[in-house]
Amino acid sequence: MKNPYPTLFHEWFEEVWNQRNADVIDRLLGDDAIVHGIVNENGTPMRGPQDFKQFHLRFLAAFSDIAVEVVETVSEGDKIAARCIVRARHDGGGLGFAATGKTTEFTGMCIGVVRGGKIVEAWNNFDFLAMYSQLGVLDKLSQT
């Protein structure tokens, strides 16, 4: 039988985002993991599952039908990289502004260091500028 999750990032995006399973965050993200490129409420890189779960909740509150497609992965040693496409409808206020009802499609890449089956450090580069532009909210953001 073929493994449905050929890489940890396939499992992460399928379970955490597509299946909206926050419990998987505890299983796949190290307790002291540093997540660069996505900041917590203090404006610093997220640390550990609890920080990430807060982001996860806010993002799902904004995009209840989010779907992340892992297009490609590359791994070497303890590092893994993934290129993704995110598709979603903005139907909630989890980003700090009213739902637009618009759909968005944007790309992203991430690199992670994996030890003991968990992500211990990650660098994320998702095109949130494209997302905000497609939602038509760039002017609203610049006014805050």
pLDDT given for residue 41 in this prediction = 82
141: pLDDT confidence band, cut at 50, 70 and 90? Answer: low
pLDDT given for residue 43 in this prediction = 87
Q: Bigger pLDDT: 2 or 70?
A: 70
Q: Is the pLDDT of residue 3 over 50?
A: no
If one counts the domains in the chain, the total is 1
Q: Is the pLDDT of residue 10 over 50?
A: yes
Domain contains 2: no
95: pLDDT confidence band, cut at 50, 70 and 90? Answer: confident
Q: Residue 126 belongs to what domain range?
A: 8-142
Q: Are 118 and 30 in contact (CB under 8 A)?
A: yes
Q: How far is CA 121 from CA 2, 20, 40, in A?
A: 28, 21, 15
The 10 Å Cβ neighbour count of residue 24 is: 17
Q: How far is CA 126 from CA 4, 23, 85, 100, in A?
A: 24, 23, 9, 20
DSSP string, 84-123: EEEEEE--S-TTSS-----EEEEEEEEEEEEETTEEEEEE
Q: Is the pLDDT of residue 1 over 50?
A: no
Domain contains 1: no
Domain contains 21: yes
Domain contains 3: no
pLDDT given for residue 25 in this prediction = 98
Domain contains 31: yes
Q: What is the CATH number of the domain that holds 87?
A: 3.10.450.50
Q: What percent of the chain has pLDDT over 90?
A: 80
Per-residue pLDDT tens over the stretch 36-85: 998 888 888 899 999 999 999 999 999 989 999 999 999 999 999 999 99
